[in-house]
Amino acid sequence: MASRQAKGLTTAHDDRARYRKWVSPILGVKPVTRFVQRDIEEVVQHLDREVLAGSLSWKTAVNVWGVVTKMCADMTRSKVLSIRVREDNPARDVQGPDRGVERSGPYLYPSEFEAMMRCDRVPVRWRRIFMLAVYTYTRGGELEALEWNSVDFEHGYILIHQSADADTGELKSTKTKDVRKVPIEKELLPLLRKMHGEAGGEGRVVVMPPREEWADRLRKYLEWSGVKRADLFADDDTRRPISFHDLRHTGITWRAIRGDDLLKIQRAAGHDDSKTTQRYINEAETFEGQSFGEPFPTVPLSLLSIFGSNSGFVAVGNSRTQGFSRANERPQRDLNPR
């Protein structure tokens, strides 16, 4: 784990937690040189039982299994010689945990997005964040780390080259360690220029609120906007409620529905595998809906003005910085949303 963290791997922290909770109780403190296939099979059996008991999702079980198989592989062929301690891989012939049904991930229709942008109850601060997330289809950490010096107005692209760590906030490489360019949608350009002027072209593009609020706020503000499509809020065996990350899926899906080239979508989205991008193309080819709307709709700047009672913006020091005031962030009708 220390080796993975030293490499700057984005999953190192989560992998450590997964190992401690789901693997360590089974393997204990037994030296890795003494692991046998039976030990690894008992880990799989434990994961399957926890899934059946409802204590663990099958996807998390698969992620835990990924930690185990990588650990066992490193025992035999890691480039870090100090942890290459075996000639054989005890997990090589072991079948992993059972996979369950893939729950469908929702995305917003342009008409639903427009409804949220036009809802006066939704704070302007959040409307701006949602628009940036959809129109740049960046991951949350990438949006949080985005700085104005990465926005090239002259050539019309945003350079995505770093991400903010979910736990520490420190800057690190992107999830796939790639550097990519996201074209600036013409409908987003007016808002970006306005925000650039407000910030004096320096610092972060947007100051993100605490991550634990992202999904809850999105779902609440959709409801405030009259968006009640069941697929966005369902939480069952085959469907999951919309999350902040699904705003990224929304933007990528819109590009596919608009008919953009697959390779261009893949590069801009930062997908390692074209099969990932193909899923969005498949959705575009099968979609039918009269109330869908036009992808990447124009949002009047008057709806995204920082001046207003529920803007959520405050002055910080002597600079025009996008600050965050919890007192001003909520409309008066929602002083205690929970």
Spatial CA neighbour of 183 closest among 128, 255, 107: 255
Whether the Cβ atoms of residue 86 and residue 33 lie closer than 8 Å to each other: yes
- In the numeric block, which tokens belong to residue 201? 């072209």
Highest-confidence segment of 129-133, 288-292, 304-308? 129-133
Question: pLDDT tens, 81-124?
Answer: 999 999 999 999 999 999 887 777 799 999 999 999 999 999 99
How deeply is 197 buried, as exposed, middle or buried, from its count of CB atoms within 10 A (0-12, 13-18, 19+)?
exposed
Residues 175-222: pLDDT tens digits? 888 899 999 999 999 999 999 999 999 999 999 999 999 999 999 999
Domains and CATH numbers, the chain: 2-83 (no CATH), 110-334 (1.10.443.10)
Average pLDDT over the chain reads: 87
Express each pLDDT in 46-62 by its tens digit.
999 999 998 998 989 99
pLDDT of residue 287: 65
Stretch among 147-151, 280-284, 323-327 having the lowest mean pLDDT: 323-327
| Residue in 141, 146, 143, 147 with CA at minimum distance from that of residue 165 | 141
**Token pair 């989205």 is at which residue?**
269
With vertex at residue 56, the alpha carbon angle to CA 51 and CA 62, rounded to the nearest 5 degrees, is: 80
